[in-house]
Structure formats: C-alpha cells, structure tokens
Amino acid sequence: MYQQGSDNSWWVWQKSNWAASADPRPAASAPATTTTTTPTATTTTGTATTPTATPTSAAATSATAPAIPFFGINEHYNYGGVYTSVPLATQAATLSDLGLTANRQDIHSYDQIDAVADTLIPGMGSKITIMPMIDAYPYDDPSLNGQTPTEASAYAYAYSMAAYAATKLKGVPVVEFGNEYDLDMPVANDGANVSDYDNSTWPIYRGALRGSYDGWRSVDTAGSTKIIATASLGFLHLGWYKGMLTGVQPDGSTGHPVVKTDIIQLHWYSDGGDPENTWGVTGTNYNVLKSLHDAYNLPIMFTEIGVNTDFTTAQAQEYIAKTIPELVAAKATYNVIGFNWYELYDDPTGDYGILTSSAGQKPIYTAIKQAVAAAAQ
C-alpha cells in the first residue's frame, strides 16, 4: 500500500509502519538516467542470431562509480547457518586470504535489505566489497493474495523494493537484480533463440527487471551504482538476453518494453565446459562471450561460476587452474570485469564450497588461492 503526501512525497506501508518510498508508478522512471540498447546489426553464432546493440547510458557516465573488484565469491548471509555462526570478521579474513574481495549476497525481502545494510556490510569491514543480489520475485508480492502476477504488478513490486534498497545500500559499486528467472519457464533446445521460451510468463519477469532498474535509478539518479538486470541462468541462454534487451517476445512480436542494464550477467559451471568454445544439445558450437560482447557492447560479469559437485577433487583443481586465468584474459578480449565464485561454504544449496559447512578448508581452497594470486599479478 502506498500514499502520496501533500508535498508529493511517497510512502509505503511495510513492517507495520509507513516508510519513505520512491513514486511506485511506472511513469516515474526517468529516461535520462537509464541505459538503452538500440539494435544496429546482427551477429550469428551457430543457430542463434543476436542483435548487435549500441548502449547509451547517461546514468552510467554521469557519476564516478566505486571500483568493482575483479575477484569475488558468493555467500548467503540471509540463509543463516554457517553464514551467521562464523563471525563476519572471520569470513572477511578468509576472503582476504583467498584474494576474493567482492562478495555477492542474495536478498529477497525488505528485512534482508536491512540486515545487509545494518549488519553485514559494517561487519565485513572496508576490505570486502558487498555486491547485493536483490530478488523481488514477482510471485512473492503479498498484494496479489495468491493471484498470478502481471507485468504491471511485477514492475511495481520490484520498483518499490529496489527504491528502498537504493536508500539503504547507497554507495555499493554494483547491484544485481533477479536470479535465474529463465529457470521458471520451460526452455526448448539450447535457449539460444527467443522462441525457445514461454511467451505467457515472459512479460512477468520483464516487468520485474524493468521495475528493479527504474526503482533503483529513481533514488540513485546520478548513476553511481552500476546495475545488473539480466537475471539469466546463463550458459547458452542467448535468446533470453536478446528478447529482454531488445523488446522481442517468444511469439516473435516486437516493440515491447526494453529491459535496461549497465552490465551483462552470466552464470557458468564446470559442466558447461569453456564459455568460449562449448556445445549445445542441438550440436551447435558457441562462443558465448563473443556473442554477448558483440551483441551488446556492455561489460560482462560472471556473477556465479563454479565447479559441479560431481567433479572429483583433481578435476576441480584442474578446472580452477585453467578457468581463472582465462577469465582474467577475457578482460581485454570480451570486457569481462569480474567473477563471483560459487561459493564460500557448503550449505543446503549443495557442496559447492571452498570450505565445508563447518568452515574447514577443502583441497580446492589452495587451488583457488594460488590461481587468484597468480592471475592478479
């Protein structure tokens, strides 16, 4: 529930109280401070045709953003468990020892925004850069009372949460919105074409991503924080990026609202092989980094990258030693600006950790540390 004061200020009812809010209406977004992508040509990789886009970003150039560390890791403070039982200062010291000083943390509610702003960030200290991943998941909107969200409801829900987050998390160098939304719909073939996705649910997630970007920018009008608003599983889902960033829907219709982003996000795990040379189920060969770089001319960040749990220790060590230098080399070739390894501790999401769920070092700890130290030189 929102209300507008006589002085044109806006307020939102949350946690049994009125809190300051940005204008929740879509018309409140300011085009002058957003990033747009304009299709100008096409690049074909295998069977996937992706429009080449030239970004224009007043927000991205109007302020000097804090530096985004290249080497980072995923954690889940808001899950509790090992992430809260281990003192934050100890976690920060571990990250510094590993050389992984960017810290992606997922957030799913207003109280979790508060926890990150009021406890996590100060607790981690100045040497660790928190990278919030805020998921205003459209189906969690309490105002729907169990009804299916629409593009408009998803936009409004995400807009409000993002605007609130921008007031609480002011100064973070980068913020990411949404997580693997394309997993919530059936995906055909390799996901490399827009037509591979479900047309009925597509607009819902487009609304969430649009609202997230606009909501944050309604507060951060100078564009000091860079925004990631692609929310893809990554791998070969080139069609997801194409449709969201150019206003195309899976049914082939065009001219729909465009999702704005300052950075392209990518998720990648060891079972995907090499992102510069991998194969899909259709038998098509892809250079995913080249496709994204050539199509959108935007920085690319691996917000999740890691080793699948079926890898042996030796396979994991080999993958780490090969992959981290390749990511650093991709800075110059494809404008890769960083990665967040998945993840620090084993937890209910899986045994992906560099440490166990009781904070003991696993053999890959040394492999990560050595690879990062060598690549950072």
Closest CA to 165 of 156, 153, 177: 177
* pLDDT at residue number 59: 40
Q: What share of the chain is helix, strand, coil (3-state, %, to 5)?
A: 40, 25, 35
> Under the phi-then-psi rule, with left for phi > 0, alpha for psi from -120 to 50, and beta for the rest, what region is 76?
beta
Number of domains observed in the structure of the chain: 1
d(CA 354, CA 374): 18
Expressed as residue numbers, the domain containing 337 is 30-376
Closest CA to 324 of 364, 279, 280, 362: 364
Q: Tokens for 211?
A: 């609202």
Cβ proximity of 211 and 157 under 8 Å: yes
- 244-257 pLDDT, tens per residue? 999 999 999 999 99
d(CA 202, CA 243): 9
d(CA 83, CA 334): 34
* pLDDT at residue number 226: 97
Q: Could you tell me if residue 16 is inside a domain?
A: no
Q: Could you tell me if residue 8 is inside a domain?
A: no
Q: The CATH number of the domain where 53 resides is what?
A: 3.20.20.80
* pLDDT at residue number 4: 57
Q: Could you tell me if residue 10 is inside a domain?
A: no
Q: Could you tell me if residue 240 is inside a domain?
A: yes
Closest CA to 296 of 360, 358, 246, 229: 246
Which residue carries 């510094």 as its tokens? 96
d(CA 121, CA 6): 35
* pLDDT at residue number 377: 85
Q: Could you tell me if residue 227 is inside a domain?
A: yes
Per-residue pLDDT of the chain (377 residues; tens, 9 = 90+): 556 554 444 555 544 444 445 555 443 333 333 333 333 333 333 434 333 343 434 343 445 657 999 999 999 999 999 999 999 999 999 999 999 999 999 999 999 999 999 999 999 999 999 999 999 999 999 999 999 999 999 999 999 999 999 999 999 999 999 999 999 999 999 999 999 999 999 999 999 999 999 999 999 999 999 999 999 999 999 999 999 999 999 999 999 999 999 999 999 999 999 999 999 999 999 999 999 999 999 999 999 999 999 999 999 999 999 999 999 999 999 999 999 999 999 999 999 999 999 999 999 999 999 999 999 98
Helix (H, G, I), strand (E, B) or coil at 198: coil
Q: Could you tell me if residue 176 is inside a domain?
A: yes
Q: Could you tell me if residue 23 is inside a domain?
A: no
Which residue carries 């998945």 as its tokens? 342
Q: Could you tell me if residue 254 is inside a domain?
A: yes
